[in-house]
Structures are given as structure tokens and as C-alpha cells.
Amino acid sequence: MALRLQKCGSSDPLKLLLQYILRQFLCHLALSVAFLAAVLVAGNVLKGMMDLLVSGKLTLGDCAALMAMLLPPMASHALPFGFVAATLLAVGGMAADREFLALKSSGVGPLKMFSAILFLASCGVLLSLAVNFHYAPRAISAVKSRIQNIIREEPLRFIAAQKFIRDFPGYIFFVKEIAGDRLHDFHIWELDDRENVASYIHAERGTCVYDESRQALVLTLERGTVEKQLGEGKISPLVSFERLSLDLKWENIFGAMVKPKKIRHMTLRELLILREESVKKCDGATYMAVQVEMQMKGAMAFAILALVLVTLPLSVKLERREASLNVALALLLCVIYFFLMMILSFLETKPHIQPHLILWIPNILLQISGVCLCWKLCRR
């Protein structure tokens, strides 16, 4: 270890020690956060973008831009995991090499050794607060804006010739030919709630444009006929038309990414405004939902410090430097914490038990446990 410390370029032993621990910790932190963020972004791509990419509705450039925009929301979950994994890898490696024991024998206490990590964990709390309350919600809004621009610029990208199109809820389309911005020989089957054909529309030609005010693709058909199913095998007489418009809602194309903004996707300013409005309207349900969401985001940020407090003495006790084992343990701890927070968030429908305050119980328990474990470690 002496050779490692000499490379840091300082004569103060304690400063050398802190620089060494900081360098090890920051390296593991960057790799851990990048790993989980990449996994989460890849999961979103496979879930919502791969089919669109294969079908040509998204280009590689669009997909790459959307993936980059999804990084801040993923960071809100990756940061706690990164700090836990970095603590297990850095401190666990030192303990496995008996460096922790050697330093303690030299009179360097655990608090001095871990002060740099605790300082970084405190900085991580501030960073996570900024991500949870500002950058992540803004990133979600940027994703929706990007998708709107894609549809606005090239609406015909979502309608292909010589293919049955089932992307729009309640309709099946077939276009024989697309020439420029004109659609020729258009067939539409309108479906009922049971996915049975309710009516059939045929038009000689049509156009498709994006209407931002209605947030829909507006399909305008010209010179066609409408035939409705009356049930029991009966069909209504053909009805001719010269011009017919249909609004095709586009939420179904991109799934959850383009649904109306939810409370969990709001910035701190938007949450405060919504809370004030709910008080004026005496809307207790919305008020409690906002309170729970605000406390949830705050508790998730402070979980970084709470988890690190528990992980520090745990790393020393385990004395394991295997990366796979430490990463798996970090994932297990974070999954248990996130699952518990998710369960507690369901209590928002029971305002009499103050669910927004109950969300802090896991953090408080973790911090008490961490302080007790660290105290035992110092006395050992």
C-alpha cells in the first residue's frame, strides 16, 4: 500500500490516504453508475423503441437522441446503486488486502478513512435531489417534445404502403400507394371494443398531417364510401362522401413515453404549483399524491447517504474484493430498498396515517443501523 500512496504525490500521510481512497471510490462509482444507467436505458430501448426502429418509424439518429435524453431519469435509480457498489468494491478491496487492518494499527481510525466517502455521499445526495426534482422531469418533457417533432416533420413515416397498419387503437389501415404526401386507394377497418369490425371505409385518396393543437395525426380522405356492420351479419347500405377527417391519437405509437404528464414526471416548481391548486380546490387526493411524490423524491436522494452508512462497515466485515459478488450485493440492497419504497407509496390513499412521513422510515432505520455498525467498528 505504501507504494500506491507514494504515487499520489503528497508528503502528508493522511492526505495521501484520502486521495488514494477517493481515487479508488470515484473510479468504481463512475463505472457502477454508467453500468446501471446503460442497462436501464437499454431496457427502455428494447421495450419501446426496437419495434419502431425495425419498422422504420425511428431512425438510428432518433433512437440515439432519445437514449441520451433518457439518461437523467435513469440516473435517479443508478446513483444509489453506484454509491453502494463503489463502497463495496473500494472498501471491500482494502479490507481483503488487509489495508484497513494495517491503517487501523497505525492509529488511523475508520472515521478518518471513510470521511472522504461520506463527503462524496453527501455530495451525491445534493446531485440526486437536483436530478429527481429538476433534470429527470425536464428530460421526460424533452423526450415527448422530440417525439412530437418527429411526428410533425414526417407524419407519413408511420403509414407504410402495402402493409396492414395496426399501430392506432381502434383502426386497421391499408394503403396501396404513397406518392409524395398523397395516399392512394386507402382502406380502413374501424374496430369495436371486442376488436370486431364495426365499419369499413374506402377512399380513392387522402392526406395525413400532424395537428399539434389536437396532438393527433389528422387523416383527410377524399371520394370514398362507408359501410357499417349492423350485427347478425347485416350490413348497412353504402354511404358516399366527398371529404372525411379522422383524428388518429398517437399515444399508442410510443407507449408510456408520450402519455400526459404524470405527477412523478413534474419538476419541484410544478409540484408546488399543483399542491397550491389542490389546496384551493379542496382536492385532498391530489394534495396527498403531490406530498407523497415530493417526499418520495427527497427520500430516494437521502437514501444514498443512508445506504453508504450501512455499506461501509458491511464492506469491512465481508472482506471481499470480487466485483461480481459486490455488484450483486449492491443490486440486492437497492432492489430491497426500492421495493419497500414502492410498497409504502401505495399508502397515499390513506391520508390519515400520514404516508408522506412514513416514506422516511426506511432511511431513518438505515441511518440508525449504519451509525451503530460504524460505532461498533470503531470500538473493535
pLDDT tens by residue, 135-159: 999 988 888 778 777 767 776 666 7
Q: Are residues 238 and 289 in the same domain?
A: no
Q: Are residues 288 and 242 in the same domain?
A: no
Q: Are residues 323 and 213 in the same domain?
A: no
Q: Are residues 230 and 143 in the same domain?
A: no
Hey, what's the cell of 110? 475508520
Examine the pLDDT at 258 and tell me if it is beyond 60.
Answer: no
> In terms of pTM, does the model score above 0.85?
no
Residue 56, class by beta-carbon neighbours within 10 Å (0-12 exposed, 13-18 middle, 19+ buried)? exposed
Q: Which residue has the cell 395516399?
A: 183
Examine the pLDDT at 125 and tell me if it is beyond 90.
Answer: yes
What pLDDT is stored for residue 14 in this prediction?
66
What pLDDT is stored for residue 3 in this prediction?
45
374 contacts 312 by C-beta, under 8 angstroms? yes
Count the domains in the chain.
2
Q: Are residues 19 and 133 in the same domain?
A: yes
What pLDDT is stored for residue 2 in this prediction?
47
Q: Are residues 129 and 22 in the same domain?
A: yes
What pLDDT is stored for residue 105 in this prediction?
66
**207 within domain boundaries:** yes
Count CA within 13 A, CB hemisphere, residue 211.
Answer: 14
Cβ atoms within 10 Å, residue 280? 8
Q: Which residue has the cell 444509489?
A: 80
The neighbouring-strand residues paired with 336 are none
Residue 236, class by beta-carbon neighbours within 10 Å (0-12 exposed, 13-18 middle, 19+ buried)? exposed
Buried b (16+ CB within 10 A) or exposed e, 239-258: eeeeebebebebeebbeebb
Of 83, 78, 76, 77, the residue nearest 123 (C-alpha) = 83
Examine the pLDDT at 290 and tell me if it is beyond 50.
Answer: yes
299 contacts 359 by C-beta, under 8 angstroms? yes
Relative orientation angle of helices 110-130 and 71-96, to the nearest 10 degrees = 170
Q: Are residues 173 and 146 in the same domain?
A: no
pLDDT, averaged across the chain: 81
**97 within domain boundaries:** yes
What pLDDT is stored for residue 80 in this prediction?
92
**5 within domain boundaries:** no
Q: Which of 217, 249, 281 is the last residue of a domain?
A: 249
The neighbouring-strand residues paired with 228 are 199
Cα distances from 242 to residues 49, 102, 210, in angstroms, run: 38, 89, 21
Examine the pLDDT at 9 and tell me if it is beyond 60.
Answer: no
Range of the domain at 243: 169-249
Q: How confident is the model at residue 242 (pLDDT cuts 50, 70, 90)?
A: confident
Hey, what's the cell of 305? 447517504
- Average pLDDT of the residues in 223-247: 80
The neighbouring-strand residues paired with 186 are 175, 203
283 contacts 203 by C-beta, under 8 angstroms? no
Examine the pLDDT at 108 and tell me if it is beyond 80.
Answer: no
pLDDT in tens, 188-218: 888 887 778 888 888 888 888 877 776 677 8
More confident residue, 246 or 275: 275
Hey, what's the cell of 60? 438510428
pLDDT in tens, 313-328: 888 887 777 778 888 8
Q: What are the E-state strand segments in the chain? A: 164-165, 171-179, 182-191, 197-211, 216-231, 234-235, 239-249
